[in-house]
Structure 1
């Protein structure tokens, strides 16, 4: 796709993840930061001074001011999940394209409000799941779609975990029920579920059953959990996500003719090329995929291409986000309903 006009971003909030995205936007050829909003203008000014924001970026002491700025085409929203529905809906109503951190909402009902607002205003929606945009992901999908090399997908497991410090387990927003009440399920589980859906061509499972005895904190926020899924044709999948286990970022997919394994799927380990491994005709093969730009820059570039195209918004990203959220909701429902099997309904 040819590069389109440069998209001017407003950033709502100055969290660490926003700092990372500020650098990303500075590297994207078709994006720039036009404004930053925080709860105080001083905090927004410090953010601009300490990151790769251009010196021309405006600073505001409120999020509303960013949304009212006519020089802002799109907003990046890295706020706690509990605030997403309010600010994403307002952004869409102000005709701003929406790049939303994941998990995109606390439940699908909230996400539906966001997507309805985006559709009504004709603005582009995308979630910030960066690994989807690395060329390795497309290359792995080629293998999974090859009937001779991989065959039919039968089983899959995904895992994402990282060890929170003692301080993070008490103070990180992802363990606060009023900010990110989904905990590890929303933060790490989102990636695991997305990987499973991606491998299954985004066909939703028939049912989901959460694994018993998830670990929770004193406030009841999930710190680790897992679930199994099944499809009508016999395919199965499992995942595990945790804030209490050392770093793991794995996908294993098993087919009737081959196997796929990747051990750094959400962020490739430093160095190029990004690896993945296949087993074909009993032969283990290592593959490497080069990327012209980091995957988060590729995400921003794709978002800006769509936002600046002048055509109708691309709806596939909204559908993928909603399917991911539907499965997150089903796992959450299973956990809170005695680990019963939940039918997945789109």
Structure 2
């Protein structure tokens, strides 16, 4: 822990299921501590505390309203897993209350709302980060090191990814992620955020020339997306294309394939690694067509990357490190995380617009 040894004090604002995972991550991160939790009622907050073994921790405060947590002067940072429709209201207020903001994805219903949040964070000098965990796993850095080395991997030609799970009838009937008043983006926001973020990460956040949603999109009776495919295209030579699938209607998938002119990377547990202490991917390089024809296929090499903490713990640790630096006046807020979220949100907006336009291409503004 750098500078002041006091850990960053977190408040969890909302008791959604994912908050249980971040509650544990805060406990695991060496530079963070859980100071308070809040829900829309004291009963819900107390039930969350009981389920997560917080009742014995007398230092954890329990609030029955969100505003009480934001008014707590001892809360340094807020983790906010509220429904997406509530993000802009409460995230902006949190920023003006000088609370650093770890905001669950999708960050907003559209980029205009996210811009309001980022502007409030900028004005008030608070750190912003979205809750995408896989960015922080050391496997992510290792893969990026390989695919960014043109001498090893060559030009990135294509990216394919999928994120899905088979929702049960109860989920499809009543879950907030298919309720247009709570999370109108449906599978596009909940699962598509991973796919779009992955694709842009692979190409170093260069925005595509255009985005096209494919016609087989499935919507529920309220117009919320349950499953869809889309493609991203970069027209500048040498060209790159990406396709992705996200759905609440098919078996679990967390697949990523990156194909370069000299190599390929594949994995099947991108969003949530199979193990907390390590994660792997398969790398193939240097295979020529003539080799395949005369000598058979080349076996991929499995690359294993160890991890000291689960990826959510690493996310909290990195966020707390940035917050501590701002609090100690050692550094400015790192705007890179807001820029990553905004580009992901712009990609999401483009897919949604393409669906609304009858699956026509949506051309993107370039950097």
TM-score (norm 1): 0.97
Equivalent residue pairs, number: 346
- The 8 Å contact of residues 22 and 52 in structure 1, kept in 2 or not, is answered as no
> What is the CA–CA distance in structure 1 between the aligned matches of 2:88 and 2:116, rounded to whole Å?
7
Instruction: Report the CA distance between 1:271 and its aligned residue.
Output: 6.1
The corresponding residue for 1:24 is 25
The corresponding residue for 1:180 is 183
11-20 or 127-136: bigger deviation? 11-20
Deviation by residue 1:151-203 (Cα, 9 ceiling, x = unmatched)? 11011111101111111111111000000000000000000000000000011
Change beyond 3 A, Cα 1:273–1:12: closer
SS at match of 1:149: helix
After TM superposition, list the pairs within 5 Å mapping 1:216-295 onto structure 2.
216-233=219-236, 234-270=239-275, 272-282=277-287, 283=298, 284-295=300-311
Structure 2 residues without counterparts, runs of 5 or longer? 288-297
Structure 1 residues without counterparts, runs of 5 or longer? none
Change beyond 3 A, Cα 1:272–1:18: closer
Change beyond 3 A, Cα 1:167–1:82: same
Deviation by residue 1:258-297 (Cα, 9 ceiling, x = unmatched)? 0111110001113653110111123421110000110000
Deviation by residue 1:282-326 (Cα, 9 ceiling, x = unmatched)? 342111000011000000000000011032100000000000000
Change beyond 3 A, Cα 1:272–1:49: closer
1:205 aligns with 2:208: yes
> What is the CA–CA distance in structure 2 between the aligned matches of 1:52 and 1:44, rounded to whole Å?
12
- The 8 Å contact of residues 67 and 94 in structure 1, kept in 2 or not, is answered as yes
> What is the CA–CA distance in structure 2 between the aligned matches of 1:57 and 1:40, rounded to whole Å?
16
The corresponding residue for 2:137 is 134
Deviation by residue 1:26-66 (Cα, 9 ceiling, x = unmatched)? 11111111111111112212212221543321111110010
The corresponding residue for 1:117 is 120
SS at match of 1:246: strand
RMSD: 1.3
> What is the CA–CA distance in structure 2 between the aligned matches of 1:114 and 1:206, rounded to whole Å?
26
> What is the CA–CA distance in structure 1 between the aligned matches of 2:3 and 2:86, rounded to whole Å?
32
> What is the CA–CA distance in structure 1 between the aligned matches of 2:324 and 2:108, rounded to whole Å?
25
Change beyond 3 A, Cα 1:251–1:40: same
- The 8 Å contact of residues 26 and 52 in structure 1, kept in 2 or not, is answered as no
158-167 or 50-59: bigger deviation? 50-59
The corresponding residue for 1:102 is 105
User: Which one has the largest radius of gyration?
Assistant: 2
After TM superposition, list the pairs within 5 Å mapping 1:62-77 onto structure 2.
62-77=65-80
Deviation by residue 1:204-255 (Cα, 9 ceiling, x = unmatched)? 1011000102011111100001111111322111110000010110111111
The corresponding residue for 1:47 is 48
> What is the CA–CA distance in structure 2 between the aligned matches of 1:70 and 1:251, rounded to whole Å?
43
